[in-house]
């Protein structure tokens, strides 16, 4: 009976420990890709909304160095639109309100950080230097208008929106996790944080699945980002955008100018254990 109980307990706990081990066994790596057309460079730094503080510190340092070297910095960030467009995007993505606020809460629960908390200090200077600091994304109104245009051309798209309230594009229910975490204490929160980091490593490491909204969430925004790059033909550009945007952006850039080629790729781990380790100094009194 004792052996059976031990085996049963191990089987029940196995999925949780499997999640806890994922950041170490299968680290979530994001790319920094350097592109060139023979005349200038475009650096694409892949990002995740929630990651380790060490990762965001490294990216922030690279951004400062790039700006000092004369690069134009392009930031991701869908801009506000009309109330109708905002309501459409909220309903279509089942975000349940302010996504940035939810990502901030998830970061706290998982022992991670929200990217906006680290890049905001640079983006705040956009008004002072709009030529070198650019939010290169679209507005929700532009996304809504593009969606309406595509639905008019293909009415079946309207019935293909993702189902299941409170779930983002990866099928991860943020609202429920936040509610669940509110009732935990002490070591329970520590265990949830470890499992949560593993969950993000697994979910964000998967390839983007088929989704009707990808036509505007990814493809449309990639087209507009390529437009932005083409509009600055004299500038070297450093882009911080979600990693899932790179394949489509690269195809879009090559379709306009086949001279664009990948000339370098580096990888960085986006989720690692928190750097809050403590010890004891061996100092005599």
1 within a domain of the structure (yes/no): no
Q: Can you tell me which residue has the tokens 């309230």? A: 165
Interval 60-88: pLDDT, tens: 999 999 999 999 999 998 999 999 998 88
Confidence at 175, pLDDT banded by 50, 70, 90: low
How many angstroms from the chain centroid is the CA of residue 220?
Answer: 17
107 within a domain of the structure (yes/no): yes
160 phi/psi in degrees, rounded to 5: -105, 10
240: Cα within 13 Å, side-chain hemisphere? 29
- Residue 258 pLDDT more than 80? yes
276 within a domain of the structure (yes/no): no
pLDDT of residue 35: 98
278 within a domain of the structure (yes/no): no
Contact predicate 31/226, CB 8 Å: no
pLDDT of residue 7: 67
Domain residue limits at 104? 23-269
5 within a domain of the structure (yes/no): no
Determine the Cα–Cα distance for residues 211 and 85; give it in Å rounded to an integer: 19
pLDDT of residue 12: 54
Provide mean pLDDT across the span 105-119. Answer: 82
145 within a domain of the structure (yes/no): yes
Determine the Cα–Cα distance for residues 181 and 162; give it in Å rounded to an integer: 26
Measuring CA to CA, which residue among 272, 275, 270, 253 is closest to residue 262? 253
Interval 186-243: pLDDT, tens: 677 776 677 777 766 666 666 555 577 888 999 999 999 999 999 999 999 999 999 9
Q: How many domains does the chain have?
A: 1
pLDDT of residue 147: 94
282 within a domain of the structure (yes/no): no
């Amino acid at each position: 009976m004792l052996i059976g109980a031990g085996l049963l307990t191990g089987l029940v706990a196995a999925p949780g420990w499997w999640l806890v081990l994922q950041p170490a066994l299968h680290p979530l790596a994001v790319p920094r890709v350097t592109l060139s057309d023979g005349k200038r460079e475009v650096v694409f730094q892949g990002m995740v909304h929630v990651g380790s503080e060490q990762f965001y510190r490294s990216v922030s340092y690279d951004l400062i160095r790039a700006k000092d070297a004369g690069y134009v910095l392009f930031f991701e960030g869908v801009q506000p639109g009309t109330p109708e467009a905002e309501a459409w995007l909220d309903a279509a993505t089942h975000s349940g309100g302010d996504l940035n606020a939810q990502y901030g809460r998830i970061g706290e629960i998982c022992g991670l950080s929200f990217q906006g908390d680290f890049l905001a200090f640079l983006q705040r200077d956009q008004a002072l230097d709009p030529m070198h600091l650019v939010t290169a994304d679209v507005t929700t109104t532009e996304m809504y208008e593009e969606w309406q245009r595509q639905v008019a051309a293909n009415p079946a798209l309207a019935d293909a929106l993702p189902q299941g309230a409170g779930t983002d594009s990866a099928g991860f229910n943020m609202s429920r996790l936040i509610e669940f975490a509110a009732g935990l204490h002490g070591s329970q929160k520590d265990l949830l944080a470890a499992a949560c980091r593993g969950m993000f490593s697994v979910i964000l490491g998967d390839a983007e699945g088929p989704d009707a909204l990808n036509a505007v969430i990814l493809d449309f925004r990639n087209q507009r980002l390529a437009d932005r790059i083409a509009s600055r033909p004299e500038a070297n550009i450093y882009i911080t955008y979600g990693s899932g945007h790179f394949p489509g952006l690269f195809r879009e850039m090559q379709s306009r100018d086949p001279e664009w080629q990948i000339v370098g790729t580096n990888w960085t781990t986006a989720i690692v254990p928190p750097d809050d380790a403590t010890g004891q100094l061996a100092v005599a009194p």
